[in-house]
Amino acid sequence: MERKRIIVIGGGASGMMAAITAAKEGALATIIEHNDRIGKKILSTGNGRCNFTNTRQEPDCYRSDNPAFPWKVVSAYPAARAIADFTAMGIYSKNKNGCLYPFSEQASAVLDVLRMEIARLEIQVQTGKHVVEIRKKGRGLLSCILEEGKKRSHIEGNAVILACGSKAAEKLGSDGSGYTIAKSLGHQIVPVVPALVQLKCKEEYFKALAGVRAHGKVTILVNGKACASDTGEIQLTDYGISGIPVFQVSRFAARAAAEKKRTAAVLDFMPDFTREQMLSFLKLRVKEHPEKTMEVFFTGVLHKKLSGVLMKQAKLPWSKSSGALTEQEIEDLADVVKGLTVQVLAPNPFGMAQVCAGGVDTREVDPDTMESLLVKGVYFAGEILDVDGMCGGYNLQWAWSSGYLAGKGAAHA
C-alpha cells in the first residue's frame, strides 16, 4: 500500500512534532521551513533553557475565543505523554515548581533530540523555501507553491499541515504568512495581538521607576471591569510594566487596547495584605516612629523610587512627618499602595512578544484531528491557531499536543 505523503509547513515545535508523529504512523513526511534551519524559536524559550511543559495542567492555562477547544486537544496528548516521549528521545527532565526543563538546562538539547528523531525517521527537510499558496489537485492531492528567492516550484501531498506560527518574535522568522494562506482557504482569523508581552502605560512617572522590581499583583480593568489578574515580580520600566505577572494578563490588555476600549492596570504592591491589614500596618508604623518623614517612611518595605512615586500620588510631601498624618491621609496612602491605577496604551510590538492571541478560528477546526472543517486534507498545529497559553511551558505543550494530533490525523485520513 502506498504511503501517504504529508507536507508540514513550518519547522517549529508543532511542525516538528507533527512530522515526527506522521512518520511514526507510517506516512512520508516533508517539512518546509522558510528559515535557514528548523527549530530556531525553541532555542530562545525559557531564557535559553526551554521550559518544555508543566505538570500543573488546567483548562484556564490555555486561552481562546473558543475556550473548550484547547483543553480537548491538550487532554488528548497531555503533559505526562509529552514528558514520556521526550524521555524516550533522551531528555532527562528537571522539575522547578511544575515547570519542566531538560536537566542540562539547555534549550538546544530539546532541539537536538527532535532533529535526531527527524533524521532517524528519514523525514525530509527543505529550508529557505516559503509557501505562498495551497492548491487543491485531483485525486485528493494538495499542491504547495514554494518560493525560493525568485524561483518557484511546487510539492504535492495527500495532506498539508499548517504549522507556520504566528507574528510573535519576528526576528526568529515568524511573519504571520500562515494567516494569509488560511484566509485564502476560506478560514476566519480571530484578530491577532501580541501576548506574553510588556505593556506601555501613559503615566510620566514611569521614567523615574525604570529598573525597579517589586512583588505585587496586577489586575487588568477593561471599561472599569476586572478581567484578569496575576501576582509575582513586577518589573517597572521607563515605558510601563513588565515581568511574569504582566505577561500572564497582557493578552487581555492587548485585545482591549486594540478594540479601543478603556484599559487600565491596577498595581497592588502589598498583595499579601487586605486593605484593613494595610491600614493597621501603616498606623503601627506611625505609632512606632512618628518622627519619620515620608521620605523614609517605607524604608525596608518598598524601593525608594517607588516610595517616592506613591507618596506623590497620595499628595504627601517627603518632608511631612508620619506623626502629622491625618486619618484620611493614611487611608489615601493605603489606597495608593494597594491600588496604583495606570492607563494602558498598548502592548509592546509583535517583535517583543513571546506568542500571539488570536489566529485561525478554532470553530473551523476538528479538535480530534486538527483537520480543517472547510478544506479536506488541510490541518493546523501550533501558534497559527487562536490558542495561547500562560507562561510556564504551556505554549510548548500546546505545540506538542496540537502537532501530535495533526500528524496522526493527517497520516490516517
Residue-range domain boundaries for the chain: 5-194+358-412, 198-347
Would you give per-residue pLDDT tens digits along the chain (413 residues)? 689 999 999 999 999 999 999 999 999 999 999 999 999 999 999 889 999 999 999 999 999 999 999 999 999 999 999 999 999 999 999 999 999 999 999 999 999 999 999 999 999 999 999 999 999 988 889 999 999 989 999 999 999 999 999 999 888 878 899 999 999 999 999 999 999 999 999 999 999 999 999 999 999 999 999 999 999 999 999 999 999 999 999 999 999 999 999 999 999 999 999 999 999 999 999 999 999 999 999 999 999 999 999 999 999 999 999 999 999 999 999 999 999 999 999 999 999 999 999 999 999 999 999 999 999 999 999 999 999 999 999 999 999 999 999 999 999 98
* CA atoms of 373 and 359, how far apart (whole Å): 16
Please say whether the beta carbons of 250 and 198 come within 8 A: yes
Residue 1 confidence (pLDDT): 64
Pair 227, 377: CB distance under 8 Å: no
161 Rama class: left (phi>0) / alpha (psi -120 to 50) / beta: beta
CA angle centred on 403, ends 399 and 404, rounded to 5° = 120
**The cell 499558496 sits on which residue?**
133
CATH topology (fold) of 5-194+358-412: FAD/NAD(P)-binding domain (3.50.50)
Cα separation, 176 vs 84, in Å, equals 32
Torsion, Cα 94 351 9 101, to 10 degrees, reads: 0
> CB atoms < 10 A from the CB of 127, how many?
14
Q: By the 8 A CB rule, do 57 and 78 touch?
A: yes
CA dihedral 302, 305, 306, 309 (to 10 degrees): 140
C-alpha count within 13 angstroms, C-beta hemisphere, residue 262 = 5
Asked if 158 and 141 count as a contact pair (C-beta separation under 8 A), the reply is: yes
Counting every residue written for the chain, the total comes to 413
Residue carrying C-alpha cell 502589598: 270
SS3 of residue 68 by DSSP: helix
99 Cβ neighbours under 8 A, 6+ residues apart:
46, 51, 54, 392, 393
- Whole-model pTM: value is 0.95
360 and 379 Cβ atoms separated by less than 8 Å: no
Secondary structure percentages of the chain, helix, strand, coil, to 5: 40, 30, 35
How is 243-290 classified by DSSP, letter by letter?
A: SHHHHHHHHHHHHHHHTT--EEEEEES-TTS-HHHHHHHHHHHHHH-T
